[in-house]
Amino acid sequence: MTATPHPLPIEPVLPALRDALRTTGAAVLQAPPGAGKTTRVPLALLEELWLGGRRIVMLEPRRLAARAAAHRMAQTLGEQPGGTVGYRIRHETRVGPGTRVEVVTEGVLTRMLQADPALEAAALVIFDEFHERSIHADLGLALTLQSRTVLRDDLRILVMSATLDGGPVAALLGGAPIVTSEGRSYPVVTRYVPPRAGTRVEAAVASVVRSALDEEQGDVLAFLPGAGEIRRTQALLEGAPADVIPLHGTLSQDLQDRAIRASPPGRRKVVLASSIAETSLTIDGVCVVVDGGLARVPRYSPRSGMTRLATVRVSRASADQRRGRAGRQGPGVCYRLWSAPEDAALLLRSPPEILEADLAPLALNLAAAGVPDAGELAWLDPPPDAAVAEARALLAELGALDKGGRITPHGRRLTRFSLHPRLAHMVVRGRALGAETLACELAALLTERDVLRRHENPFEADLGLRLDILRGSVRRADVDREALRRVRAEVRACRDAGRGPAQAGGTAAVSPGLLLAFAYPDRIAQHRPGVGGRFLLRNGQGASLQPQALTREAYLVAAELDGRRPESGIFLAAALTLEEIETHFADEIVAEDILAWDDATRAVIARRRRRLGALVLKETTLRDPDSDAVARVLIERVRREGVDRLPWSESGRRTRARLAFLHRLDADWPDVSDEALAADLDAWLGSRVGGLRCLDDLGRIDLGELLLDRIPWDRRAALDDWAPTHVQVPSGSRILVDYTDPAAPVLAVRLQELFGLRETPAVGRGRVPLTLHLLSPARRPVQVTRDLAGFWRTTYFEVRKDLKGRYPRHHWPDDPLEAEPTRHTKRRGPGGT
């Protein structure tokens, strides 16, 4: 049945591989690039008896590689794809009833396992280029292992890789044999040509390519991070003595095939490729590799819930794969655009995608496969628990999972689409509103590369403009035609996946912003007051938009952000109205009464608020708030500001000071310190603030009386006995006692009113002598003492001399103990006596 292919380096190990699969049902094949594992191994196994007429399913990580592998194998058999060898990739299927080898991409295998967990039509599943460790490959292997364990013990598994350490994979497969091919490679000279600081990768690659065309023979393969850099490098190489051909995943099949094919006689070519050309593909005629040393990979941020492409340094494994491209068909040269010391510092391998990716698609696929817990499966690297939990929370929010974590009918509908669950949810909701076409257009625009070349207009974020371009109603010079073609193809595939024609009519009432809100409910954004272009997202994070028409919108939905702090930049968005939010997210809007403290008025403000997450949609004054709730806010403010900041009246402060004095004498008296009163604020103040709104209102409450209320009635009578408010002095005056310092209460009295008093007055039932502030006739202090008798004996006479000079008309007796005390400051009667 099979034709005899040209001998390849993989041939010597094929008997060992056949034996391993026949006896153990699993194997790991390690073979370097160019050994022929991708195109030779499946054909070499077609005659195995254990196939039993069933198919070989081979998983390829990229669409271009899957299609190229199928074409190469079919060509070996003298056939076209769709015969013995076929392929099934996104939006394209070439499989017939006689197909024995089916090459699929990773998402296709997942859907095959969901539709038929036992994979009844397959006898062998091959995972090619497994070292790339995509999340789909890890999931596909985990589900295939489950099928083999639970449903199909005869299902065979082969994992193939060029650079992966086979030991852990073999252990995962239950101790499978490792078959190693030495391969055949030609010598490759490595040259390090680090560019000058500040040189863009496009300019550096273009310069080295021109040098290589002058100095070396054969075609050139240059690696760049992505389509934008490839396009700019192509422009820099205009006029080069070779055909300059781009190669990346978003090109059409014809353009991709042109890059792979051998050059016409007498012509040289330069292939400018992304990482797509690292493995699987053989590009005929390549003898020179120029490696820019960069790759573009998705990076997911759990903090922002967003995935964005990041440009990173390649790993050691990737750099070696790229270098090997120069030695597949003969001796070659590899130019590395970095230094030898930098080369030594490269990471050995890139981290597996499953450890860093957005796991929402994985979680949905697991639920669709009836796996509620990822821990039930055998993984080479288990998905992180926190990331799985976040993904399941999103799916529950989208209605794809029920409260028990099981897939819902709505979730099943989402699996029909080759889209992220967010976008699939948007399409299903859009279909229900009669806007399936619009939803598919949006999904396609967000799935494929931007139809506008962002390096020419990086700040244009309006998705409405892109819809106009897609529909042909707007024409612009900065449109990426290839991206536009792919978007239109994706729209058609999306509508086909929806099972039926789009519903006509009704789309005028459905805006792009509303549909986007279904996909990104957490990214509904509200314009912030003040400087234009600043928004608050529903999830509480900030975002900003460069000046454009969208910055004037009150609400919008941010479909793409960069995840930076403190505010993410908005790259793609569409306007949304408050009416749309109120109508379609009514069950998620929370109505609440808000009581808060206002520093300006020093009062409690009451608002009735309608809120969607962190967004306040409407707020009105609440005229009759719950008095208990107001009291709680007021009490909490008092606690924060401190009890001493209350509007104490003079009498209240005096009462508090008297109680502090008594507590110092006897701990059975209440503690009225700031700390104690704050700790017990609800008990002594809380019941009296009902109906009050501001701190100044507390001035209407006799705070001192509230403190007295804390004293039992049987002790109230003793208060004046222990801490009298006034003390009567010999002149008959009742003088106020100042208890501000509880350790030393003060009596401020004019000296003349104490004539005849021998002992210092005391409080606390005589236990604490008062600190006497003896005053002049003008009520100025002349002496402070707690020993009145000693003052009369000694200091009085010095004070008398000074006072007599300053107040000559006043009576200053020689013997104050025998003199008559007086409230009056001047002598009375004849002679002033």
Span 253-291, pLDDT tens digits:
777 778 888 788 888 999 999 887 776 667 888 999 999
Answer yes or no: is pLDDT of 586 > 90. Answer: yes
The reply to whether 210 and 111 lie within a common domain is no
Tell me the mean pLDDT in the region 613-625.
91
The reply to whether 247 and 107 lie within a common domain is no
Please say which residue of 154, 180, 206 terminates a domain.
180
Between CA 222 and CA 334 the distance in angstroms is 10
pLDDT category at 172 given cuts 50, 70, 90 is very high
The reply to whether 691 and 762 lie within a common domain is no
Between CA 725 and CA 742 the distance in angstroms is 13
Which CA distances in Å does 435 have to 393, 426, 702?
27, 10, 67
Look at residue 361 and tell me if it is in a domain. no
Which CA distances in Å does 643 have to 68, 598, 708?
80, 18, 16
Q: What is the pLDDT of residue 6?
A: 58
Cis preceding linkage at 33, omega within 30: no
Q: Which residue has the higher pLDDT, 772 or 482?
A: 772
The reply to whether 630 and 678 lie within a common domain is yes
Tell me the mean pLDDT in the region 138-166.
91
3-state secondary structure 102-144: EEEEHHHHHHHHHHCCCCCCEEEEEECCHHHCCHHHHHHHHHH
Q: What is the pLDDT of residue 1?
A: 44
Q: What is the pLDDT of residue 237?
A: 96
Q: What is the pLDDT of residue 40?
A: 93
What's the pTM?
0.77
Q: What is the pLDDT of residue 811?
A: 87
The reply to whether 512 and 544 lie within a common domain is yes
pLDDT category at 504 given cuts 50, 70, 90 is very low
pLDDT tens profile 12-34 = 999 999 999 999 999 999 988 77
Residue 362 is inside which H or E element, if any? Answer: helix 360-368
Q: What angle do CA 674, 678, 682 make, to 5 degrees?
A: 145
The reply to whether 736 and 800 lie within a common domain is yes
Look at residue 269 and tell me if it is in a domain. yes
Task: With H, G, I as helix, E, B as strand and everything else as coil, classify residue 574.
Answer: strand
* Cα Rg of the chain, angstroms: 43
Q: What angle do CA 130, 419, 247 make, to 5 degrees?
A: 55
The reply to whether 810 and 822 lie within a common domain is yes
Residues 6 or more apart in contact with residue 11 via CB below 8 angstroms? 36, 40
pLDDT category at 563 given cuts 50, 70, 90 is confident
Task: With H, G, I as helix, E, B as strand and everything else as coil, classify residue 697.
Answer: helix
3-state secondary structure 465-477: HHHHHHHCCCCCC
Between CA 290 and CA 233 the distance in angstroms is 12
Domain total of the chain: 5
What CATH number corresponds to the domain at position 161? 3.40.50.300
Extract the tokens encoding 149.
């364990």
The helices-and-strands tally (H runs, E runs) of the chain is 28, 31
Q: What is the pLDDT of residue 497?
A: 86
Closest CA to 546 of 461, 456, 453, 476: 461
The reply to whether 525 and 447 lie within a common domain is yes
Q: Own/partner pairs for 194-199, CB < 8 Å, 24+ apart?
A: 194/337, 194/338, 194/339, 194/342, 195/337
The reply to whether 36 and 146 lie within a common domain is yes
**Torsional class of 448: left (φ above 0), alpha (ψ -120 to 50), beta (otherwise):** beta
> Hey, how many other C-beta atoms are within 10 angstroms of the C-beta on 339?
12
Strand order in 156-161's β-sheet? Answer: 92-94, 85-89, 101-105, 55-60, 122-127, 156-161, 26-30, 178-180
Closest CA to 166 of 155, 175, 157: 175
pLDDT tens profile 626-648 = 888 888 888 888 888 888 888 88
The reply to whether 144 and 41 lie within a common domain is yes
Q: What is the pLDDT of residue 572?
A: 93
Pairing of strands 734-738, 726-728: antiparallel
For CA atoms 414, 420, 423, 427, give the dihedral sign. Answer: negative
Bridge partners (DSSP) of residue 9 are none
pLDDT tens profile 284-338 = 889 999 999 999 888 777 666 667 778 899 999 899 989 988 888 889 999 999 9
Pairing of strands 85-89, 92-94: antiparallel
Extract the tokens encoding 103.
């090459």
Tell me the mean pLDDT in the region 461-486.
92
* Mean pLDDT of the chain, nearest integer: 89
Bridge partners (DSSP) of residue 87 are 94, 103
Look at residue 5 and tell me if it is in a domain. no
How far is residue 330 CA from its own chain's centroid?
49
Look at residue 337 and tell me if it is in a domain. yes
Q: What is the pLDDT of residue 832?
A: 40
- Using N-to-C axis directions, what is the helix angle for 436-447 and 481-497, rounded to 10°? 130
Answer yes or no: is pLDDT of 4 > 70. Answer: no
Q: Which percentage of the chain shows pLDDT scores above 90?
A: 64
Extract the tokens encoding 236.
């820099």
Please say which residue of 136, 157, 180 terminates a domain.
180
Q: What angle do CA 720, 758, 738 make, to 5 degrees?
A: 35
- What type of residue is 626? D
Residues 6 or more apart in contact with residue 85 via CB below 8 angstroms? 42, 43, 70, 73, 74, 77, 79, 99, 100, 101, 102, 103
Q: What is the pLDDT of residue 306?
A: 65
Extract the tokens encoding 92.
């394209």
What 8-state DSSP symbol labels residue 649? -
Q: Which residue has the higher pLDDT, 332 or 35?
A: 332
Tell me the mean pLDDT in the region 749-778.
94
Answer yes or no: is pLDDT of 831 > 50. Answer: no
Between CA 259 and CA 237 the distance in angstroms is 16
Please say which residue of 565, 588, 611 terminates a domain.
588
Between CA 433 and CA 509 the distance in angstroms is 9
Extract the tokens encoding 740.
């501000």
Answer yes or no: is pLDDT of 662 > 70. Answer: yes
Task: Confirm if 270 and 260 have CB atoms less than 8 A apart.
Answer: no
Q: What is the pLDDT of residue 500?
A: 54
Which CA distances in Å does 740 have to 436, 534, 826?
79, 54, 32
Tokens 């207009």 locate to 457
pLDDT category at 428 given cuts 50, 70, 90 is very high
Answer yes or no: is pLDDT of 2 > 50. Answer: no
Answer yes or no: is pLDDT of 505 > 60. Answer: no
| Host domain of residue 307 | 188-350
Q: What is the pLDDT of residue 644?
A: 87
The reply to whether 631 and 676 lie within a common domain is yes
Q: What is the pLDDT of residue 280?
A: 64
Task: Confirm if 422 and 499 have CB atoms less than 8 A apart.
Answer: no
pLDDT category at 833 given cuts 50, 70, 90 is very low
Ordered DSSP codes for 22-48 = HHHSEEEEE--TTSSHHHHHHHHTTT-
Look at residue 391 and tell me if it is in a domain. no
Between CA 449 and CA 456 the distance in angstroms is 15
Backbone angles phi, psi at 340, to 5 degrees: -60, -40
Extract the tokens encoding 297.
């990979």
pLDDT tens profile 209-255 = 999 999 999 999 999 998 889 999 999 999 999 999 999 877 777 77
The reply to whether 75 and 194 lie within a common domain is no
Look at residue 406 and tell me if it is in a domain. no
pLDDT category at 5 given cuts 50, 70, 90 is very low
pLDDT tens profile 377-408 = 999 999 999 999 999 999 999 999 999 999 99
**Torsional class of 745: left (φ above 0), alpha (ψ -120 to 50), beta (otherwise):** beta
Look at residue 393 and tell me if it is in a domain. no
Look at residue 387 and tell me if it is in a domain. no
